[in-house]
Structure 1
């Protein structure tokens, strides 16, 4: 048999077709990511580098007029970490964040479970209500809630006066720091719950119905079905929601800042985001404010470490 016959045989042709495909170039992913990385470098990287550099300088209002900034090394960080006010504000921010995250997750999960039991009409109605709360700008929401808790003409004071018979008109909800944070808690949770509810609802609908039905036939209560079956299926979603809520609520700014303008006492109600703003924009200590912001960035990175580590582990499996 000639060599030309062997080369054209089906076995040789099959061998040629079974050749592994060529591996893509290692440079191709980076070429595809280059535009996005360039945008991130300009929009995020450059401000972060400037912030980091400014945190080592004595950058005051004079530097805005072109006066060279004095390099002070770690002095801004030393002053910040030895300032009792900073630790008070940070502790207050963490305490407020913990309460916000707990209530947001609890109410959001309960609403997601409720939406699974509602019929189509009421589920649509609930979704529209949640979307309206979620879509409202934070500034507009604070102004509306500020009217509701207004000292002279607020709905809350009017309703309490009608129900209790006591005169609540003229009662200020924002002068007392505890009441101030109660109002802020209502606003923040009200706007944060829709995201958690929608995300959890999307995750819970992916739990196999036959597994839940089998557990029900075995005598599992609704609480047991949720804890032992639903939660393991959506554990990664819950972790992501908790971390995102922690980050969002720890750096909350608009709600606190606007409520302070309506009637709160800034010194007793500052959170870390407002404290950074006042240190920089109000007092003109931009170097010190940058140092506090860098510390906050490292705190956020520490909070996000667990999630990033778990994500990397799942991708390696």
Structure 2
């Protein structure tokens, strides 16, 4: 039989063959990850722009005005000229300014100490209450915290009214005849004490609720072990409770320092800084200087001093926080 030769397909010549896909860069389809990366910034853009306009721009504007000769004439006609740090020199050379600074720190210290002590006691009390008592106390704290500042200040004005106030009526009925129609807001120490009570009453709910939330994170096993070892209540708080909640305690402490340092609405609505300067602190002094004396430059300088002092509190808090993180690490 003749041999059958196997036929094979002819090979293509060198340099030819099936077309290959191009390996170079070409048009790409838009990836979904690119759109996902842009959308978060688009969504937060309105909040960022609003913050810049409502917070950063007024701050920068106040800094510029504090470096200018800016009075009522410049406010209406413009043309304010820069005078450098002359306004700060005038401010720092005013004896009334330093008296206001001392009163501001005294006001802050009294308020912060009372707030932290009372809020800690309230938080410890709430932790030991039953379900019904805890709910009632927390509800009362939330309602107190939610009351508008103007409304609470007006209520305190009614309470201490010289003729129709409930406080004078109760004290008179108890036999203190000297409080009959007693003008609380006409005496400096009395007005100062009322403002302190108001600020403390408004600030304790937030601090107490925050500290109570921190207390709930402390393991109960530590308390049981300490009681088995015979530790007393103060020793347990000093050795277990406070070290566990110290970061939150320092945070609340810093926030209360800032909030009481810049307390303005309560004082302005209740006393306008009076009688005399008995309740005038730095924010009130800045507004008085700007509005009453038409010295917007000195008022802005006083505001900048207030911002610098409050920034010092923030620096202190962050240093403490970073130090605690280094100790834990």
Give TM class, smaller chain.
Answer: 0.7 to 0.9
| SS of match in other structure, 2:185 | coil
| SS of match in other structure, 1:94 | helix
Inter-partner Cα distance in structure 2 for 1:268 and 1:74: 29
Please say if 1:98 is aligned against 2:102: no
Alignment equivalent of 1:289, drawn from 275, 280, 299: 299
Report deviation, 1:192: 0.3
Residue 267 of structure 1 corresponds to 277
Inter-partner Cα distance in structure 1 for 2:188 and 2:239: 40
TM-score, normalization: structure 1? 0.86
Q: Whose radius of gyration is greater, 1 or 2?
A: 2
Tell me: CA distance 1:196–1:279, structure 2 relative to 1, closer, same or farther (3 Å): same
Residue 313 of structure 2 corresponds to 303
Residue 287 of structure 2 corresponds to 277
What pairs with 1:134-283 in structure 2 (closer than 5 Å)?
134-164=145-175, 166-260=177-271, 264-283=274-293
Residue 83 of structure 1 corresponds to 94
The size of the alignment, in residue pairs, is: 290
Unaligned stretches of 5+ residues in structure 2: 1-32
TM-score, normalization: structure 2? 0.83
| SS of match in other structure, 1:213 | helix
Report deviation, 1:248: 0.5
Deviation by residue 1:98-144 (Cα, 9 ceiling, x = unmatched): 00000000000000000011111111111121112111111111110
Unaligned stretches of 5+ residues in structure 1: 1-23
Inter-partner Cα distance in structure 2 for 1:58 and 1:256: 28
Inter-partner Cα distance in structure 1 for 2:176 and 2:55: 55
Q: Is the 8 A contact 2:150 2:265 kept in 1?
A: yes
Q: Is the 8 A contact 1:280 1:286 kept in 2?
A: yes
Question: Which structure has greater helix proportion?
Answer: 1
In terms of mean alpha carbon deviation, does 109-118 or 64-73 score higher? 64-73
Q: Is the 8 A contact 1:153 1:169 kept in 2?
A: no
Q: Is the 8 A contact 2:172 2:180 kept in 1?
A: yes
